[in-house]
Amino acid sequence: MSEKRTELNDLGEFGLIERVEKQFPVQNSTSAKGIGDDAAMISIGSEYLLVTTDMLLEGIHFDLAYMPLQHLGYKAVVANVSDIAAMNGKPEQITIGLGISNRFSLEAIDTLYAGIKAACEDYKVDLVGGDTSSSKSGLIISITALGRVDKGKETLRSNAKNNDIICVTGDLGAAYLGLQVLEREKQEFLINPEMQPDLEKYEYLVGRQLKPDARMDIVHELADRKVVPTAMIDISDGLASELLHISKSSGVGIKIFEDKVPIDSLTYETAIEFMIDPITCALNGGEDYELLFTIDPKDYEKLKNHPDIHFIGHIHSDPTQNVLVTKQETLEPLKAQGWNHLSNF
Ligand code: ADP
Ligand code: MG
């Protein structure tokens, strides 16, 4: 008798998570938001405690050939802080689960923790615990971050409304191109180890890949301007993928305009050099850790002069119509082609 076997690839990362979500309805009234947003929300008095976990695996999420351990430590914290920021929250604590193979020396782990410490100082979070194990498959870092947000100020993926304005911070696609540059240098180094990498020209892109920022500055500025976005998500998998999360969670449609999507000039030029359409990098390149949010049109005045917030489109009522209006004024369906780590199974 043959047992049924379903390939995880058929389901994909998001399909798998959705399946788990359905199987685990929450049982406690304090579990205000379970699976399905950037962080879970636990009800405590007038606040929500926010909880989020992100795991980085060697060979899947990073390559130590070009990812210095110090940067890796920093980035692992940033990825978690960014998910707390996406809930409009303030991060306060992290715990770290570490799997270490015998390839690593004490000095190497010290370097990793130096990066973690730098991020803890920059984002004012405390490392309060974790777990340590040996690993047979390289380095594994799993970080859980805890944060807080006042009730009423939380920004779920599920609350975008018809006519809301879609906003993104910073610029997009740079981290993806930074990775392409690093990969190219690695290949060239493998062929000719004498060669000195010439990364200076690409400094901004490589920096966005190796030392990203979490946009806590934006969380504070939104509060200063008394704006609570209707929905918010951080861009870890790519703009298109995150927009589709908002569409699905909120039951609304997305319309964005290609000429409004912020792309840095070096990102643009380097995309052309790699023969990739720059908008593809912005839509599908991951790891920018910018914030994507929607606002009620009445809040537009409060944000319109902000130098680092870009208004890229609006929400409409039909969740089946998620489109990009190209520079040629044609409509293209938004598709998620972001990282899907299960494809590495
Ligand atoms: P993000 O990109 O913001 O980190 P993810 O796509 O990793 O978000 O996760 C989406 C949601 O699924 C989150 O609520 C997360 O906690 C949950 N999740 C992810 N993996 C699992 C898992 N293995 N079991 C239960 N929940 C999970
Ligand atoms: Mg997120």
Each residue of 136-194: pLDDT tens digit? 989 999 999 999 999 999 999 999 999 999 999 999 999 999 999 999 999 988 888 88
Residue 336 pLDDT > 90: no
Atom 26 (ligand 1): residue with closest C-alpha? 35
Residue 340 pLDDT > 60: no
Instruction: Please report the DSSP string for 172-199 in residue order.
Output: SSHHHHHHHHHHHHHHHHHH-TTPPP--
Residue with structure tokens 């929500």? 48
Higher pLDDT, 66 or 169: 169
Residue 98 pLDDT > 50: yes
Residue 345 pLDDT > 60: no
* Ligand 1, atom nearest to 13 Cα: 6
Residue 54, SS3?
strand
282 C-alpha to ligand 2 centroid (Å) = 17
Report the range of poorest mean pLDDT among 115-124, 154-163, 175-184, 332-341: 332-341
For the segment 239-265, the average pLDDT, to the nearest whole number, is: 98
Please report, for the chain, how many H helices and E strands are present, in that order. Answer: 10, 13
279 C-alpha to ligand 1 centroid (Å) = 27
* Ligand 1, atom nearest to 14 Cα: 6
342 C-alpha to ligand 1 centroid (Å) = 13
Residue 342 pLDDT > 70: no
Residue 294 pLDDT > 70: yes
For the segment 280-288, the average pLDDT, to the nearest whole number, is: 95
Report the range of poorest mean pLDDT among 19-33, 192-206, 307-321: 192-206
Residue 343 pLDDT > 50: no
Q: Please give the mean pLDDT across all residues of the chain.
A: 95
Q: Which residues pair with 38 in a beta bridge?
A: none
- Quote the pLDDT of residue 124: 98
- Ligand 1: residues with CB < 6 A are 17, 20, 35-38, 54, 83, 236-237
190 C-alpha to ligand 2 centroid (Å) = 34
Atom 2 (ligand 1): residue with closest C-alpha? 236
- Quote the pLDDT of residue 1: 57
Residue 202 pLDDT > 80: yes
- Quote the pLDDT of residue 137: 87
290 C-alpha to ligand 2 centroid (Å) = 10
Residue 93 pLDDT > 80: yes
* Ligand 1, atom nearest to 36 Cα: 14
Residue 197 pLDDT > 80: no
Residue 35 pLDDT > 80: yes
- Quote the pLDDT of residue 191: 86
Residue 311 pLDDT > 60: yes
70 C-alpha to ligand 1 centroid (Å) = 25
Higher pLDDT, 266 or 187: 266
Spatial separation of the C-alpha atoms in residues 293 and 311, rounded to whole Å: 10
Ligand 2 (single-atom ion) residues, CB below 5 Å: 38, 83, 234
Ligand 1 pocket test: pick from 13, 23, 24, 35 the residue with the most ligand atoms within 8 Å of its Cβ.
35
Ligand 1 pocket test: pick from 11, 13, 17, 51 the residue with the most ligand atoms within 8 Å of its Cβ.
17
- Quote the pLDDT of residue 344: 40
Closest ligand to C-alpha of residue 53 is 1
- Quote the pLDDT of residue 161: 98
Residue 272 pLDDT > 50: yes
* Ligand 1, atom nearest to 53 Cα: 16
